[in-house]
Amino acid sequence: MEIQIRYIPETADKWEVVRAISSVVHHPSFTKAMEEGNIQLVKGKMPLECMNFDVELDMCENRGLRNKTTGTLLLPLWEIGNLFLEHATTDLPARVDGKKLKFYRRGRGMYKEKVKKLEVLEKTRFMDPATQEKRESTSFQLRDGFTTVRALHLGFVFKEKGTKIFSSEFKLQMYGQLWIDYEKKLFRILVRVPPPLPSASCVLNIPLSSESLG
């Protein structure tokens, strides 16, 4: 179900709203109410206390990080949405900075993208907002920054007596720029051919392991 959120403090960020809503949908009494209503996620394979949801804030384009005091909540099932609207307006109000959020039902019609997102929400577990916030912050910081590259070596890594050694098979000696795409776990290297050669560029995508990202 798609639910509109109103009266969000304009200086609040997404994760503050996520925590407020989590205090409702992951509360033991809410989980008990879902059990009594025979509500199941992915045919009972997903524990109700791990139910996922998605929050999007309507942001002010010309006012920095301030929101428009409104947003959207996506819950995986229509039945869960009805239960949430009942509990969030009575015994389990969601609050941000002491201010009570208001929730309003939206129509059943949704774009295909949101329908697909709902299907994903039903199959994925809720992740600690602190972990998500840290990941988003890291991704944002890496997305707009780059490191100057003076030379690019292509080769392979092998072990010799327990020590990893890099064998450089090809060296490209020219200036470039290195970005890290944190979400896709890729190095993006943009190498530009300097004058007087014709203007050209080459982008290399180098996959990273999850261990490399820490």
Summarised one tens digit per residue, pLDDT across range 34-71 is 999 998 888 778 888 899 999 999 998 876 678 999 99
Q: Which of 8-17, 136-145, 166-175 has the highest mean pLDDT?
A: 8-17
pTM surpassing 0.75? no
User: Which pLDDT does position 3 carry in this prediction?
Assistant: 93
Q: In the chain, where are the structural domains located?
A: 2-126, 147-213
Strand-pair category, 152-160 with 99-100: unpaired
User: Which pLDDT does position 213 carry in this prediction?
Assistant: 44
Quick one: average pLDDT of 123-150? 79
Whether residue 16 has pLDDT greater than 90: yes
User: Which pLDDT does position 205 carry in this prediction?
Assistant: 61
Quickly name the fold that domain 2-126 has.
Answer: Alpha-Beta Plaits (3.30.70)
User: Which pLDDT does position 179 carry in this prediction?
Assistant: 72
User: Which pLDDT does position 70 carry in this prediction?
Assistant: 95
Percent of the chain clearing pLDDT 70 (strictly above): 79
Whether residue 4 has pLDDT greater than 90: yes
Summarised one tens digit per residue, pLDDT across range 82-94 is 999 988 877 788 9
